[in-house]
Amino acid sequence: MNEIIENIKKFFANEMNARIFNSIIAVIICLAIYKVILLVLKKIEKGYKDSEKESKRGNTYFRLFKSTLRYVFFIGVVLLLLQVNGVDISSVFAGLGIVSVIVGLAIQDWLKDIIRGSSILSDGYFAVGDVVNYNGQEGEVIVIGLKTTKIKLLKNQNIVSIANRKIEEIEKVSKEIYINVPISYTVSVEKAEKVIQTIVDEVKTNDDVINCKYLAVNEITTSMANYFINVTCEPKNKLQVRRDALRTILTQFEKYDIPVPFTQIDVHQK
């Protein structure tokens, strides 16, 4: 027993060994604190019950806070390890003046991402759970971080990361779908509108559809009239709802013996 105690004393008598031990203890304590904070946040997030809009915003704030916490934790651990190993942190900060200018120029885009990330929340551009359009691709926002926003594409479930500084290129998708229903002039307007109403009624039976209504004649072309209908649904369901609505149009055309119109070309010979 005495031999073990003597070995421990010799171990800590070595300054390098003592610093390594203190560093390990510091990291373990920081990790424990970090885990406790995450557990508390998880419980708060789980118990966050409010209106749908406020829940989305609350969920967004929670996820951003978690992302920020990781950065703060990493920087804090580094500074703590420096202090434990005898580095004067105040002198380190004092010597960062010139270095910070150089680094600042090198990380301009990184800073822009952080500033834009804050704007997304403060100005309410979108929140976690919203569906957005980026470069012609629609996806559900799953993460809003300090630097990037991640969306899951609706068409193939791929994950796309977008730098927050590109916020102007991101559009929030509405719940509205507008569909032209082309019907030939061989069909009277009265009959066409009756068929359109049956299409509307059929589309409404879809569980994912909030509402559907006939608006008016939207366009008169050389060979057909386009009747305009509006379908309302949750943005993440728009792709499938549109497909189902188009199928309904074709089945109702078959039921009422209405031909799908096509562009005709008249050729005149002399």
- pTM of the full predicted structure? 0.55
218-250 tens-digit pLDDT: 999 888 999 999 999 998 899 899 999 999 999
Which one of 2.30.30.60, 3.30.110.40, 3.40.50.1220, 3.10.20.30 gives the CATH number of domain 115-172?
2.30.30.60
253-270 tens-digit pLDDT: 999 988 888 765 555 555
- The vertex-242 CA angle with 239 and 247, nearest 5°, equals 130
69-78, 135-144, 146-155, 204-213 — which one is most confidently predicted on average? 204-213
Query: Residues 65-88, buried b or exposed e (16+ Cβ, 10 A)?
Result: ebbeeeeeeeeebeebbeebeeee
What's the token pair of residue 17? 């060994």
pLDDT score of 77: 76
Tally of CB atoms within 10 A around 225: 19
Query: What residues contact residue 114 under an 8 Å CB cut-off, 6+ apart?
Result: 146, 147, 164
- The vertex-40 CA angle with 39 and 45, nearest 5°, equals 95
The SS3 of residue 184 is strand
Residue 72 clears pLDDT 70, i.e. is over it: yes
Higher-confidence residue of 252 and 34: namely: 252
Query: What residues contact residue 41 under an 8 Å CB cut-off, 6+ apart?
Result: 62, 65, 66
For the chain, the average pLDDT equals: 77
Residue 84 clears pLDDT 70, i.e. is over it: no
The SS3 of residue 39 is helix
| CATH hierarchy code of domain 176-255 | 3.30.70.100
Domain definitions of the chain by residue range? 2-102, 115-172, 176-255
